Amino acid sequence: MNRKRIISPSLLSADFLHLADDVAMLNRSKAEWLHLDIMDGVFVPNISFGVPVVKAVRSMTSKFLDVHLMIVDPTPYISVFKSAGADMLTVHYETCSHLHRTLTAIKEQGMKAGIALNPHTPVALLKDILREADMVLLMSVNPGFGGQKFIERTYDKVKELREMIDAQELNTLIQVDGGVNEKTGAQLISCGVDVLVAGNYVFAAENPEERIETLLSC
Ligand code: DX5
Ligand code: ZN
């Protein structure tokens, strides 16, 4: 089946001193989504940026804001990110004791809801919650930093998740995040991925727009 492919460049690798230039570039580009990584220094060993940055980005783009929350207990922050302009909140399976409740709360606020899995978390754990999610994000690196090496095991996880989604006749999107480039990206698409997140591959390039187009056609 030929499914629509979405590219979601991760602003974690953008130039924070010239963030407006990078958002302007993304506005011109063929990327449909922007991926914003929120890190708390507790769930992951790094601190990135928070709500004011999401708000600032929202003020200069009409593209879909895909917000990846790498924070312990994300539930109290759902309405805050909604007010900042998020279109989707993705929470980590590993951080939610009441995932069903959290996903429901995100959707009640009018946002799409995603579940992220760390590399060590099995896809099989999603069986009874899958239908509540608009998207599943499979981490293909350990979350916390851009520019890391892709974990090959991810391909099998994507295939397993694709089978699970198709068996339940759902429209849940599959997103992969970490170490995506034209090689890993092409293979991921053939395994059934819908959304490719790419940070370093896009922003470290001389021509980031060209890299986005490469990811769209690889
Ligand atoms: C990592 C973040 C990613 C990161 C990906 O914890 O969730 O979104 O920006 O960066 P690259 O594409 O450079 O691996
Ligand atoms: Zn991310």
Nearest to 72 by CA among 173, 132, 145, 143: 143
Measured from the CA of 142, which atom of ligand 1 is nearest? 6
- Ligand 1 contacts CB of residue 178 (under 6 A): yes
Catalytic residue annotation: 37, 177
- Ligand 1 contacts CB of residue 61 (under 6 A): no
Closest ligand to Cα 202: 1
Question: Alpha-carbon distance 107 to 178, whole Å?
Answer: 26
How close is the Cα of 10 to the center of ligand 2, in Å?
7
Q: Are 172 and 136 in contact (CB under 8 A)?
A: yes
Measured from the CA of 139, which atom of ligand 1 is nearest? 7
What one-character DSSP code corresponds to residue 90? Answer: E
Question: Alpha-carbon distance 80 to 78, whole Å?
Answer: 5
Q: Are 37 and 70 in contact (CB under 8 A)?
A: yes
Q: Which two tokens stand for residue 135?
A: 């998207």
**Amino acid at the residue 93:** Y
Local confidence pLDDT in tens for the 218 residues of the chain: 678 999 999 999 999 999 999 999 999 999 999 999 999 999 999 999 999 999 999 999 999 999 999 999 999 999 999 999 999 999 999 999 999 999 999 999 999 999 999 999 999 999 999 999 999 999 999 999 999 999 999 999 999 999 999 999 999 999 999 999 999 999 999 999 999 999 999 999 999 999 999 999 99
What one-character DSSP code corresponds to residue 63? Answer: S
Ligand 1 pocket, mutate which of 150, 197, 202, 212 (most atoms under 8 A from CB): 197
41 C-beta neighbours (distance < 10 Å), count: 12
Would you state the pLDDT for residue 2? Answer: 73
Measured from the CA of 144, which atom of ligand 1 is nearest? 6
Model confidence, pTM: 0.98
120 C-beta neighbours (distance < 10 Å), count: 10
Residue-wise pLDDT tens digits, 23-70: 999 999 999 999 999 999 999 999 999 999 999 999 999 999 999 999
Question: Alpha-carbon distance 210 to 105, whole Å?
Answer: 38
Strand order across the 112-117 sheet = 6-9, 195-198, 173-177, 135-139, 112-117, 88-92, 64-70, 33-39
Nearest to 180 by CA among 211, 144, 157: 211
What one-character DSSP code corresponds to residue 8? Answer: E
